[in-house]
Amino acid sequence: MTDELIRAVALADTPEKMVAAVKNLAAVPDVAAIPTLIAVFGYNNPTAATVAVAALTAMGAIAVPQLLSLDDYNYGARAYSIRTLAAIGDPRALDVLITAAATDFAPSVRRAAAQGLGNLDWHQLNSPQRETALKKALETLLLISQDSEWSIRYAAVVGLQALAQIPDLQPPIHTRLQQMLTTDDEKAIRARVQLAIS
Amino acid sequence: MREPTASEYSAETAPQLTPEVALANLQSSDLSLRYYAAWWLGKFRVRRPDVINALIAALEDEADRTEMGGYPLRRNAARALGKLGDNTAIPGLIKCLECPDFYVREAAAQSLQKLREKTAAPALMKMLAGGVAEAVQVPGRPHLNQPYEAVIEALGAIGATEAISLISPFLEHEVPGVNCAAARAMYQLTQDPIYGERLVKMLSSEDLKLRRLVLGDLGAIGYIGAAEAIASTKAENSFKLMALKGLLEHQLTPESEALSVSDHAIQVMNLMDSLL
């Protein structure tokens, strides 16, 4: 059954058939569909990719290992993978998100990773891994909150706001947000900071 | 022949310049170095009086000509002056609106738009004389006889309400870029949502390039009624974020910054968050 649905995705020769085939495949919660759903990210079909993101997110942790191997040559595909990992929130994605947020050349990838760094499910980690992981996520977000591109700083604020739910991290995050409120030259960023601290 | 644009220079391949070298290169015997220097000074925002004066002088350059009679150095100088934001460039830019080279006129109109220069209105309005009937393609060239898009956008940006009756016929122009510019300017000059809605409707066009263009227009006018439509149109998130940033900025007044952000602003930010 799943094999047939996978074949239909491979055979789809129009954008519309692709969307329909991916929807059909997404409707069966079968782990065998994971590689095909991830491959859809690379087909430059945003509607199909959105369906695949939702299906993989619903599968959750089981899809994470395969999502972690990113497409190094297609930044559009990478952004979808990062967005899915961010939505699942599995802390195994931490290192991939840190690398993407700090070093990817594509802003869409970096923004998705920054947002994701605030939203990992830290409870899945035991002390002291948890403390180390939180420290790394915080450091990365503080670093990219100084990026020259406004949309990266915007995503960093969103990530920091989420991370501030961890009581121990509130003081450094609050300090940085206050700093941005007085020094950032984009009023859109200052407004987002205001929303984050309100 | 399409002229090279700034985006073709990448940081790696570009010769390393300093403001001094770029300034000197504007007088180089190598015309390509002049052309590049003018672009570089704008790109790196070198706001110095000597640079501004040299670029203003370059608006009258006669040395650098294309086979079609264009003035490449004047084009780049006009573009750079818009980025540098110095009002001493205004008379020179207004004069450029009468240059025989279409691309010089276009660059000058775009820069006057950036400078928000109200005194440019009469010269810009003159370019719309003849109305839609004269706004036709130049045979053999990839453009109309005037840079209508840039001219109309400039009139909207500088608040030239006296141009409303000249601009409104262009809402029916067959070139999408021109009628978008007209809708954009009409909204800015009248604040009537009917023109914002015209642009919103175009977000469901089949043409991705047009949707991107409209996103830019909606961001520029900050039409709040477009927020949801912007977030859900089919285009790259970067374009949508840029447009929503424009909407957000229009919601923020100096007073609101001191207090809390408005509900409209929060609505826009929630949409922006969902596009990260």
pLDDT tens for B146-187 read 999 999 999 999 999 999 999 999 999 999 999 999 999 999
Q: Could you tell me the end-to-end alpha-carbon distance of chain A, in angstroms, rounded to an integer?
A: 51
Chain B: residue whose CA lies nearest to A156: B276
Find chain B residues with C-beta within 8 A of A198's C-beta. Answer: 260-261
Determine what percent of chain B is predicted with pLDDT higher than 90.
78
Q: How far is A109 from chain B (nearest CA, A)?
A: 9
pLDDT above 70 coverage of chain B, percent: 92
User: pLDDT at residue B8 above 70?
Assistant: no
- Cβ of residue A198 closer than 8 Å to a chain B Cβ: yes
B276 CA: distance to closest CA in chain A (Å): 5
Which residues of chain B does A155 touch, with a Cβ-Cβ cutoff of 8 Å? 276
pLDDT band of residue A101 (cuts 50, 70, 90) is: very high
Residue B6: per-residue pLDDT = 45
Measured between CB atoms, which of A151, A187, A191 is closest to B241?
A151
**B40-49: pLDDT as tens digits:** 999 999 999 9
User: Is the pLDDT reported for residue A113 higher than 50?
Assistant: yes
In this predicted structure, the answer to whether residue B112 has a pLDDT above a threshold of 80 is yes
Among residues A92, A86, A88, the alpha carbon closest in space to that of A108 is found at A86
Give the contacts of A88 (CB within 8 A, at least 6 positions apart). Answer: A56, A57, A60, A61, A63, A64, A67
CB spacing of A112 vs B252 below 8 angstroms: no
Which of A157, A166, A163 shows the shortest CA–CA distance to A188? A157
The dihedral over CA atoms of B215, B219, B222, B226, expressed in degrees to the nearest 10, equals 20
Q: How far is A113 from chain B (nearest CA, A)?
A: 9
A182 inside 8 A of chain B by CB? no
Task: Report chain B residues whose CB lies below 8 A from the CB of A47.
Answer: 234
Judged by a CB distance cut-off of 8 A, whether residue A80 touches chain B is no
Is 50 exceeded by the pLDDT of residue B2?
Answer: no
| Chain B environment of A53 (Cβ under 8 Å) | none
Dig out the tokens for B37 from the structure. 């220097």
Q: How many helices (H) and strands (E) does chain B have?
A: 17, 0
Q: Once rounded to an integer, what is the mean pLDDT over residues A58-74?
A: 93
* Amino acid A29: pLDDT: 78
What's the confidence (pLDDT) of residue B256? 61
* Confidence check: pLDDT of B232 > 60: yes
ipTM of the complex as predicted? 0.90
b/e per residue, A11-37, with b = 16+ CB within 10 A?
Answer: ebeeeeebbbbbbebbeeeeeebbebb
Q: How confident is the model at residue A183 (pLDDT cuts 50, 70, 90)?
A: very high
The confidence score (pLDDT) of residue B5 equals 47
Q: Do the chains contact at A46 and B234, CB–CB below 8 Å?
A: yes
pLDDT for the residue A1? 76
Cβ-contact B169, B139 below 8 angstroms: no
Burial class (CB in 10 A: 0-12, 13-18, 19+), B52: buried
Give pLDDT, residue B81.
97
Nearest to B261 among A107, A115, A195 (CB): A195
Contact A158 B261 (CB under 8 A): no
Percent of all residues in chain A with a pLDDT value above 70, rounded to a whole number: 100
Q: Which residues of B touch A150 (CB under 8 A)?
A: 245
**How large is the average pLDDT for residues B215-223?**
96
CB contact under 8 A, A194 and B249: no
Q: How far apart are CA B199 and CA B186, in angstroms?
A: 11
Which single residue is written with the structure tokens 């809605």? Answer: B197
Neighbours of A107 (CB within 10 A): 19
**What does the pLDDT read at residue B7?**
45
Question: In chain A, which residues have their Cβ closer than 8 Å to the Cβ of B266?
Answer: 195
- How far is Cα B59 from Cα B96, in angstroms, rounded to an integer? 7
Give the pLDDT band of residue B4 (cuts 50, 70, 90): very low
A112 and B276 within 8 Å at the Cβ level: the answer is yes
Interchain CB contact of B276 with A (< 8 Å) = yes
What integer pLDDT is reported at residue A148 of this predicted model?
Answer: 93
3-state secondary structure of A49: helix
pLDDT of B35 higher than 50:
yes
Assess whether pLDDT exceeds 80 at residue B9.
no
Give residue B134's pLDDT: 87
What pLDDT was estimated at residue B127?
96
Q: How far is CA A109 from the centre of its chain?
A: 8
Tell me what pLDDT residue B15 has: 63
- Segment A157-171 shows an average pLDDT of 95
B13 confidence band (pLDDT: 50, 70, 90): low
**Entry pTM:** 0.85
User: How far, in Å, are A66, B115, B185 from residue B98 at the CA level?
Assistant: 61, 18, 22
- Is the pLDDT at A59 greater than 90? The verdict is yes
Instruction: Please indicate whether, in this complex, the C-beta atoms of A188 and B249 are within 8 angstroms of each other.
Output: yes
* Contacts with B, A 40-69, CB within 8 Å: 46-47
Chain B residues in contact with A191 by the CB 8 A cut-off are 248, 252, 257, 261, 265, 269
